[in-house]
Structure 1
Amino acid sequence: MFAPEPAAASFRLEALARALGSPDPAAPDERHAVTVLTTWARRSERERARDADEDLRGARVRVERAPVLRDRTGYVRGYLPYLSFDVPLLVRLLAVPRPDVVVAEPPPTTGAMVRVACAVRRLPYVYYAADVWSDATAGDGSVPGLVTRLLAAVEGWAMRGARGVVAVSPDVAERVEALVAGGATRRRARRPEVLVVRNGVDTDVFRPGLPRPQGAPGRYLVYAGTTSAWQGADVFVRALAHVRETVPDAELVILGQGSDFETLRALADELVPGAVHLHPVVPAPQAAAWIGNAAAALVSVRPGVGYDLALPTKTFAAAACGTPVVFAGPGPAVPLVREHELGQAVAYDVEEVAAAMIAALGAPAGAERAAGLAAWAREHASVAHVGATVAAHVRRWRDRRAAGAAPEDGRS
């Protein structure tokens, strides 16, 4: 997944590619070309993808796209779609001009292909751990235990061959350390360094003061992003039925797609007909306008399904737009929201969520509050800063020649 698809992975990888293509602060005279191996964009986004790819050429970033199997919602999800990218990727990695370093993004099968290709070509690589996939499958009762154990083995193997691993939160870093240690052997004493760098958002796009979207309801809350089982956005639809007993004109806007999108539509028609407006994926500037004019942005993580470690980027997007968040669920977002006063963090419970939504709808809108949230996001959640930070470590790991370091031979 890469720009212009509206997702956290696209944001951080585009920022990393731009940063790697920019002059190295430690060696200003050096500039490096970057090649991105990714998929064709969704059919509806092909024109935007061509424009985005052309823009990136000016930053010395060349995007090479290939076909991939997508599900009916447009996502690359499931073993066969993953393989439709991963198997050709191995050939593509072996065929491209020799790079200095490779950066791999999940799923773990992609990481495994990168490790094989880099072992053959004796190249260093970095693994970008946005989450821990084997933990997620362990929390999904539909996945057999054997599959979960196999995925954990593949994921750990892909990470162990890397020079370094970038984790998006301390909790993810802890699980990465456990996976790496779990399969290490005496023959390979060196383990990858694990670095924590949180996700971020484009604070030039996500900002306060954008015009109210055409057709926006009077008083609304917004959920912007993927709707799948692990997010559990249905809690907000269920809570809205309670909210409207106190705030009769409250409405909910859902922007996005995902496996639960149509389920949410049916649930809304049953519980609060006419009060929930579902829109397909919109470009980031439009999403920012919806978020910035909402009473609150809604973010959720369903507990117990393997994603309790997730820190949704939607939290940062809301702050950047000057909009408080209502976060429902467990994980690192809870202390973040509370400590930095980004909104409210409550349990994944319909009544608690409803109370938080009512409080958000009743809070006066204030330019000073919006400016404060946006300033926090610019300082702590800028995707440009994320890209520059990760790029600096990718260069360091590329150049590292530690005494006694094991060769990139693919063994563990």
Structure 2
Amino acid sequence: MRILLISHYYAPEFGAPQRRWSALVRRFIAAGHQVTVMTPVPHYPAGRPTADQAQCHHVGGTETGMHGETIVRTHYLAHRGDIVTRSADHALAAIDGLRRSLLRFRRRSARPDVIIATAPAIDSLFAGTILSRLWRVPLVVEMRDAWPDLVTHVGAAVRHERVSGGEDPPAPDPARPPRRSLPRQAIGVVKAQVHLLVSAWQRDAAQVVTTTSRFAGVLRKRGIARVDVVRNGADLNVVQPQRDHVPAHEELRCLYLGNMGRSQGLETVVRAAARVHAEGVPIRVRLVGHGAERERLDGLARELGAPVEVHPRIPYSEVGEQYAWADTVLVSLRSWEPFTWTVPSKLYELLATGRHVTALVAGESADVVRASGAGDVIQPEDVDALVDLWRDLQADRERVAVRASGRNWVREHASDDVLARRYLEILTEVREG
């Protein structure tokens, strides 16, 4: 089977979508299939290539990937990470990928048997839809997250916080005429149109793939019948199980490893650590990664005198040392409805380590932690509950003992081998109509 993958993110970049597709492509090729990847020159997360990437990867270049896949590099737009320039980057890469695909596959005999367009970026779905219609080749639309619902909800929530700190906004002053908020209205119209477009592309596809059952259910309620689930996962050959340890240290060691953005709600973690510390309970917290909130979290920890260390992103080769240091590992999301439909990809790696998981999540993420018996679940953004949990874990160290249940759950439900086999079954069914 000849597969064309359209993705804005791909190796050698490092991140959840890059890891997912590297794992899947490796197994697709090992099973005898051909894969062509249409993707920009590497420029994530900085918005521009590193010096090494700029030297090794060129716009219009054709490369052989580390698994034997063919990679065609498209244009990109260097950006600052803001929504405007990042959206322009997505659009440019998708349009150039569409153009290069039409040129590369002019001969009908060379065209792919199936196209996969993966979002985000949502613009990749546009390119995949056009190619599918022109070539009459089946399209698989992959929604790696609850897009565009998440963007719409997060934007509204962030505006609410800026206005009122999370409380209801103040009542208008009758003595002052109301101000028109045309930009906000315009943004609302654009988001509504994006919703309609994405839903249309999903209905037009031969198959939609999501990474969670709950979001698949949301799409089915919207009338999108052909929906299947292929989770994110973990490579059990790469993620090594941690050895159980009887801590020689008195303090409870808590580790968060990943993105530090608004979506994660890590302010809750910092405030809980400060309160536990103030009670005289020995505790240390490490936040390791990058994101828009990293500096603010570091400042909050200093302000509160919290025993929280904030570290920059580290190479994956050093991740094992961090897991070995920890007694419990954190997964955290805000209490926003779309997050009940999603599961952070990092969670599967945490389960595979065997470390106790402190999970500030709801919905499907909470279901996974409970089903795997991997740790304790509390409501997102609940400082009081997190303080209580950490106090109890420090007092009873047996509760943070390494357990095999999380890794066993991943082996059965979310290992890369299992996920690749399921994906290939879907692609075969789509190709055969």
TM bucket normalised to smaller: 0.7 to 0.9
Which stretch of the first structure deviates more once superposed, 339-348 or 135-144? 135-144
For the 8 Å contact 1:109–1:154, the answer to whether it is kept is no
Which stretch of the first structure deviates more once superposed, 248-257 or 39-48? 39-48
Please list, as runs of the form range in 1=range in 2, the aligned pairs for 1:53-202 lying within 5 A after superposition: 57=65, 59-69=67-77, 71-72=79-80, 78-97=86-105, 98-107=111-120, 108-139=122-153, 140-141=155-156, 142=159, 144-179=187-222, 181=223, 193-202=226-235
Cα separation, partners in 2 of 1:377 and 1:306, compared to 1, 3 Å:
closer
Q: Secondary structure at the match of 2:427?
A: helix
Structure 1: distance between partners of 2:83 and 2:353: 26
One-letter amino acid of the structure 2 residue matched with residue 99 of structure 1: P
Identity within the alignment, %: 25
- TM-score if structure 1 supplies the norm length? 0.81
Please list, as runs of the form range in 1=range in 2, the aligned pairs for 1:5-404 lying within 5 A after superposition: 5-23=13-31, 31-42=32-43, 43-44=49-50, 46=52, 57=65, 59-69=67-77, 71-72=79-80, 78-97=86-105, 98-107=111-120, 108-139=122-153, 140-141=155-156, 142=159, 144-179=187-222, 181=223, 193-209=226-242, 219-246=252-279, 248-272=281-305, 275-304=307-336, 306-348=338-380, 349-364=382-397, 369-400=402-433
Q: Secondary structure at the match of 2:341?
A: coil
> C-alpha offsets along residues 282-301 of structure 1, whole Å, 9 cap, x if unaligned?
23332243134311111111
For the 8 Å contact 2:354–2:374, the answer to whether it is kept is no
Cα separation, partners in 2 of 1:296 and 1:50, compared to 1, 3 Å:
farther
Q: Secondary structure at the match of 2:70?
A: strand
Q: CA deviation at 1:45?
A: 9.1
Cα separation, partners in 2 of 1:81 and 1:71, compared to 1, 3 Å:
same
Q: Which has the higher contact order (CA 8 A, sep 6+)?
A: 1
One-letter amino acid of the structure 2 residue matched with residue 93 of structure 1: S
Cα separation, partners in 2 of 1:45 and 1:365, compared to 1, 3 Å:
farther
Cα separation, partners in 2 of 1:230 and 1:366, compared to 1, 3 Å:
closer
> C-alpha offsets along residues 68-90 of structure 1, whole Å, 9 cap, x if unaligned?
33554699984223223222122
Q: Secondary structure at the match of 1:230?
A: helix
- Mind listing any 5+ residue stretches in structure 2 that lack a counterpart? 1-8, 44-48, 106-110, 160-183
One-letter amino acid of the structure 2 residue matched with residue 114 of structure 1: G
Cα separation, partners in 2 of 1:127 and 1:362, compared to 1, 3 Å:
farther
Q: CA deviation at 1:372?
A: 3.7
Structure 1: distance between partners of 2:202 and 2:379: 33
Q: CA deviation at 1:63?
A: 2.6
Cα separation, partners in 2 of 1:153 and 1:296, compared to 1, 3 Å:
same
Q: CA deviation at 1:343?
A: 0.5
Q: CA RMSD in A?
A: 3.4
- TM-score if structure 2 supplies the norm length? 0.77
For the 8 Å contact 2:328–2:400, the answer to whether it is kept is no
- Looking at CA atoms only, which structure, 1 or 2, has the larger radius of gyration? 2
Q: Secondary structure at the match of 1:2?
A: coil
- Mind listing any 5+ residue stretches in structure 1 that lack a counterpart? 24-30, 182-190, 401-412
Cα separation, partners in 2 of 1:264 and 1:44, compared to 1, 3 Å:
farther
Q: Secondary structure at the match of 1:63?
A: strand
